Structure 1
Amino acid sequence: MPEIEYRIESADTDRREFHIAIHFTPRKENYPITLRMPAWTPGSYLLREYAGSISDIEAYQGETPLNVIKSDKATFVLANTSGDRTPVTIRYALTAVDPSVRKTWISTDRAFISGAAAFLQISGEENTPCRIAVSPAPWDKVSTALPQIIHDGEPFLFSAKDYDHLIDCPILLSRDSDTLSTEFSVHGAVHRLVIAGCPEADAARLTEDLKKICATTIELWEPETKKPPFSDYLFLLTVSGRWGGLEHRNSVAAEAPFSALPMTGAEAPDRYTDLLALMAHEYFHAWNVKRLKPATFLPYDLTKENYTRLLWFFEGFTEYYEEIILFRAGLASEKKILDRLSAMALTVYGQSGWKHQSVAASSFDTWIKYYRPDAGSASHGVSYYQGGAMLAFALDLHIRNVTENRITLDDVMRKIWNLRTDECLGLSEDAVELSDAISEIVDRPAVAVAQWLRRFTRVAGEAPDWDSILSLQGLEMKSEPYDLVRDGLGLRFTASDGFPTVSSVTAGLPASRTGILPGDQLIALDAFRISKATLPELFRQLGTGSAHKLTLFRTDRMMTVDISPLETASPKARFERKTPMEHSWPSAGLSQTH
């Protein structure tokens, strides 16, 4: 029998808190008994300080109350213990008010538990098997990837092989009337889909499309055995007004807006492709970041930042492959994924940040930058997601070109995957496994490959020779259509109270030179009221060759500045097919054709 038992004893929807208990029998090595709360969760690289959600903590050994002493922000020490094997019980309340896949939250219709944000860890027992009992009231359905234990009187009892397993399996509580569930098999693995919050959704269509995504992904990684590294997988999807996704070893916790879901009897909405891409991305992570991962993550230290310069590979390459998988699964046309890759390219090359930060530096700084964007982020930094995806695209094209489409980036990914001697493989910070795999498969000097990778991952402002590598695959890179606001003024904004509110300005362009700041609310151009939609048209009507009076609010003060758009060149970021070519990108290549 496991020595540790976690119990979600109750949930208070009024106070929005869970009541959690831990029961265990201490060993001599456990004293003094110390409990720690993680500060972050794998896959989301920000210290979220989960201990801040704990209150009303108490502990008993047998019938004896114990003193609970907080020794730092996330550590609790149990005092006046007996020192023997008398069972210990800890109880605490957990505030659940963050509606995301990274924390815990409660609403009247459903609730969500991210393990790292909910369960205290007993020091010294990280590798001890445990189980968790869930009282679902006031809901009646529990969905999790944890193995269920059949036990009379305990309808929702689950096992975990250790603490990491426990926190790597999120739990969704919902009502049957508000939940759709399907089950399907792909290459011998049982897959489940749970949709909470939208009983009108076309679960059958999403299930069929997920089957294609799963089969395509498994066949990409394991073309011979077609055997995934798990026996079961769970797609947890909550319908909300947000986008979000967090990968786990054999599950994903995802959220998407209602507007992205297919409805029974209706055509799928345009944003349905975004939902499928999200699912493909997180499913790909079951290989790339959950089993292949930075060596600095082995093991995770959830009390502090775990630094790596490799997220351009683990997130960026995954971002690229979500598009490749959608195409090969027959869920998106080549033009569609080229358009989506073009949007990524515009995110990277349409701002100046990539000239000032490399994707490796972006990865290293994720703890202080990526999850904390500000008005200067686009001008001073680059995303390792989109930046890494561009590198993967360029590398895939380059490999195809030098091997006449015999070999693709797929072969390199499989080569690295097959280096595993254990369940996980840690990649070194210089990405030597990647450069060696490319060198061996493509028959190029390892030093030259390593230098190429270092140039495009460690040096800011370095971009591939897109024209050259695209042309050999019958592709080309063209300029985006000129956007007067984006290219001529250097403005990006959102709508607020009907008026455009500046979200960022591009250094060196008129808006920045004029002194317009993020947060400014634009209200009139030459005394004509403006909106997000009418601003470009007003400039065209009034003329772009002279200065205009732009009226804005900065905090509560109205001010007017003189501004005139520049006829600047649009960023070169649009990928298009120029010449049809057999076996070229984005096919699986000749190595998988014959």
Structure 2
Amino acid sequence: MKKIILSLSLILTCLAVSAQQNAVFYEVSFPNAIHHEAEITMVLREVPTGPLKIRMSRSSPGRYATHEFGKNVYNFKAFDGNGKALKITQPAGDEYTIPIHGTNVKITYTLFGNWIDGTYTGFDETHAHISMPATFAYPIGWDNRPRKVKFNYDEKQNWKVATQLKLEGNGIYTAPNLQYFMDSPTEIAAYKTASWEVKNPDGKIQTIHLVSHSNDEQTTVDNYATMLKKMVAEQGAVWGEFPNYDYGNYYFLHDVLPEYAGDGMEHRNSTVIVQRTPKIAGYESNLLGTFSHEFFHAWNVERLRPKTLEPFNFEHSNVSDGLWLAEGFTQYYGSLLLTRAGFKTQENAAQTFNGIVNTVLNSPGAKNFSPIQASQYAVFADAGVAIDQTNKSNIFTSYYIYGASVALALDLRLRAEFKLTLDDYMRALWKAHGKPEIPYTIPDLEKVLSQLTNNQSFASDFFKNYVYGTAKNDYAKLLLNAGYVLRKASPGVAYAGFGRINFENGKATLGGTMQGTPAYNAGLDIDNILLTMDGVEVKDQAAITKVTEAHKPGDVITITYNYHGQEKSTKLTFTENPALEIISIEKTGGVLTPAMQNFRDSWLNSQVK
């Protein structure tokens, strides 16, 4: 038996060594970082016979629309093991083919990057902000081979690497395969860091790191980490435990500067957070929302994952039916947990819920399309680039807010009808799908809800009406359980529904109008220039406000406008302003009962034991 065991051990060792020899090896240098360039080398060994195909990604983990990273690659060259140049063809803008080659191939190229957010790459004299899909070309069909990367930055003063990749030694970082490698953003800078430990019920201790590339003192970073520690604790309380982070570490990769694009992008054991403020100091509370949202993704999305995102497609964006939960429930908790942690008041929470409810009840996208359909539109909406106009305002409601409205209603209904909470549901999903990392389908989500409530009829009805369908929950009734009143914000006030208007040089130019508004029903649309309302010349917002305030719902006025050089007129019928508000019952003069107070406190107060 010992001989058999030794033989198996030797075979496994040989396979491991072979896998490492077959690794895709990258080297990255920054000789021209001041002009936003990096030089990248990729070495491939034991290349099979036949055409070798190399490509750049067109999508990035955490982003749901397609992006053309190949546009920033140039000087693309290939060489054999003896340094001889190889012929390259380019069948597509982001794809290269090397028809004839040996067993070893070296590829080099220059990459331009000057956009600091969660999707793209940026280089300058202060740092290298690296999104892997935006940076690294990869051989097609080699997805299961390990990746190794070495960053050369000796000439950069005080630069150091922060990444979820495993440090192998000698400055080389590794990933087991393409999927993991592409999900591992990397920050190289003279950053400041602060860390703390979290402990799971099983006794396992892991470390959370705040890595801040910002114009702040170390004391500011330390104090901010103390704030984040409270937020992190509330998140752990929702799920009952922290995920098992690979290598025992989780990283907040934090870039702060007004010139940056701004963003938050989740990854398996890290998140990129880019914020457009001069520094952290003085803006601490305003920056917390992104941290809270992105950290919740360490459970919801990174491990509790829709099957439609598995595996992640780097050649084209995945169409997912589950973003209403993956992103929407995360949106709901991102704000709620800041209230539980004491960084936002209960009044702040009510204002957030107000925005959610107004969106889902007053947008045509939510009226006519389901949360699942909103999720599927993400391939066009999630920072997707288009130069032509779309009808998005009338057909799409953000799955972030739409999903948050589903979460809000489900949380309140579970509390009122079953003495359960949305926290209970998230823990049940974690146990069934997140912790074992079994991707879920929408029927799986319904099944877990049915098991949790022990009520198949409730689960079936909820999903049929509010997930697959476009019905809306009775938010007024649900919120009243917590002592909040949902009511018209401006009852009896006339409303025209023009939406965004651009005032310039005395001209009032409309943006797109939304279905159901008086402006839309009057036939007014984008690029119409308002001339008069009810005989009053329109040159600024004051004129529109004056006419509107002089009327009541049901009144009809004449509007003249210019479209493509032609003067036209139409009739507009004012309606009542549809805006809603959520206000505590105490402020309405009503009585906050002990039951309402207990409901509110159990919902919005800290859950950390």
Match of 2:323 among 311, 317, 330: 311
Given that residues 246 and 254 in structure 1 are in contact (C-alpha distance below 8 angstroms), is that contact kept between their aligned partners in structure 2? yes
Q: Answer yes or no: is 1:169 the counterpart of 2:189.
A: no
Q: Aligned with 2:88: secondary structure? A: strand
Measure the CA separation in 2 of the matches of 1:134 and 1:495. 48
Deviations 1:82-139 (A, max 9, x none): 2x4xx32111122324443211223454442211111112233322222211123556
Q: Answer yes or no: is 1:450 the counterpart of 2:460.
A: yes
Deviation at 1:504, TM superposition (A): 3.2
Match of 2:54 among 28, 35, 39: 35
Match of 1:400 among 398, 415, 428: 415
Match of 1:463 among 462, 472, 482: 472
Deviation at 1:341, TM superposition (A): 1.6
Deviation at 1:541, TM superposition (A): 6.9
Measure the CA separation in 2 of the matches of 1:146 and 1:90. 25
Going from structure 1 to structure 2, the CA distance change for 1:422 and 1:489 (only over 3 Å counts) comes to closer
Counterpart residue number, 1:215: 233
Deviation at 1:476, TM superposition (A): 2.9
Counterpart residue number, 1:382: 397
Whose Rg is larger?
A: 2
Measure the CA separation in 1 of the matches of 2:499 and 2:348. 25
Given that residues 530 and 559 in structure 2 are in contact (C-alpha distance below 8 angstroms), is that contact kept between their aligned partners in structure 1? no
Q: Aligned with 2:327: secondary structure? A: helix
Match of 2:450 among 420, 439, 442: 439
Given that residues 142 and 171 in structure 1 are in contact (C-alpha distance below 8 angstroms), is that contact kept between their aligned partners in structure 2? no
Deviation at 1:15, TM superposition (A): 5.0
Match of 1:232 among 215, 229, 249: 249
Counterpart residue number, 1:489: 496
Deviations 1:45-74 (A, max 9, x none): 111122232222111121222222223443
Bigger Cα displacement from structure 2, 491-500 vs 63-72: 491-500
Segments of 5+ residues of structure 1 without an aligned counterpart are: none
Going from structure 1 to structure 2, the CA distance change for 1:521 and 1:286 (only over 3 Å counts) comes to farther
Q: How does 1:75-94 map to 2 (within 5 A)?
A: 75-82=95-102, 84=103, 87-94=104-111
Match of 1:120 among 134, 137, 153: 137
Going from structure 1 to structure 2, the CA distance change for 1:122 and 1:368 (only over 3 Å counts) comes to same
Counterpart residue number, 2:438: 425
Q: TM-score, normalized by length of structure 1? A: 0.84
Q: Answer yes or no: is 1:478 the counterpart of 2:478.
A: no
Going from structure 1 to structure 2, the CA distance change for 1:78 and 1:309 (only over 3 Å counts) comes to same
Amino acid of the structure 2 residue aligned with 1:539: V
Deviation at 1:377, TM superposition (A): 1.9
Give the aligned length.
Answer: 564
Counterpart residue number, 1:25: 45
Measure the CA separation in 2 of the matches of 1:365 and 1:165. 26
The alignment yields a C-alpha RMSD, in angstroms, of 3.4
Going from structure 1 to structure 2, the CA distance change for 1:293 and 1:81 (only over 3 Å counts) comes to same
Deviation at 1:232, TM superposition (A): 1.2
Counterpart residue number, 1:183: 195
Measure the CA separation in 2 of the matches of 1:442 and 1:234. 36
Counterpart residue number, 2:91: 71
Q: How much identity, in percent, do the aligned residues show?
A: 20
Measure the CA separation in 2 of the matches of 1:126 and 1:296. 19
Given that residues 7 and 133 in structure 1 are in contact (C-alpha distance below 8 angstroms), is that contact kept between their aligned partners in structure 2? yes
Match of 2:112 among 95, 99, 103: 95
Match of 1:416 among 429, 448, 451: 429
Q: TM-score, normalized by length of structure 2? A: 0.83
Amino acid of the structure 2 residue aligned with 1:453: F
Deviations 1:544-588 (A, max 9, x none): 667476667x67x59675676724142345364563535424636
Measure the CA separation in 2 of the matches of 1:198 and 1:146. 24
Deviation at 1:6, TM superposition (A): 1.0
Going from structure 1 to structure 2, the CA distance change for 1:212 and 1:90 (only over 3 Å counts) comes to same
Measure the CA separation in 2 of the matches of 1:32 and 1:91. 18
Match of 2:303 among 291, 301, 325: 291
Amino acid of the structure 2 residue aligned with 1:8: V
Segments of 5+ residues of structure 2 without an aligned counterpart are: 1-19, 200-204, 587-591
Deviations 1:470-500 (A, max 9, x none): 333433322233697xx71112216565876
Deviation at 1:535, TM superposition (A): 5.0
Deviations 1:302-326 (A, max 9, x none): 2123222111110111111112211
Going from structure 1 to structure 2, the CA distance change for 1:482 and 1:564 (only over 3 Å counts) comes to farther
Amino acid of the structure 2 residue aligned with 1:437: V
Q: Answer yes or no: is 1:504 the counterpart of 2:512.
A: yes
Q: Aligned with 2:467: secondary structure? A: helix
Amino acid of the structure 1 residue aligned with 2:38: F
Given that residues 537 and 543 in structure 2 are in contact (C-alpha distance below 8 angstroms), is that contact kept between their aligned partners in structure 1? no
Measure the CA separation in 1 of the matches of 2:290 and 2:508. 29
Bigger Cα displacement from structure 2, 435-444 vs 313-322: 435-444
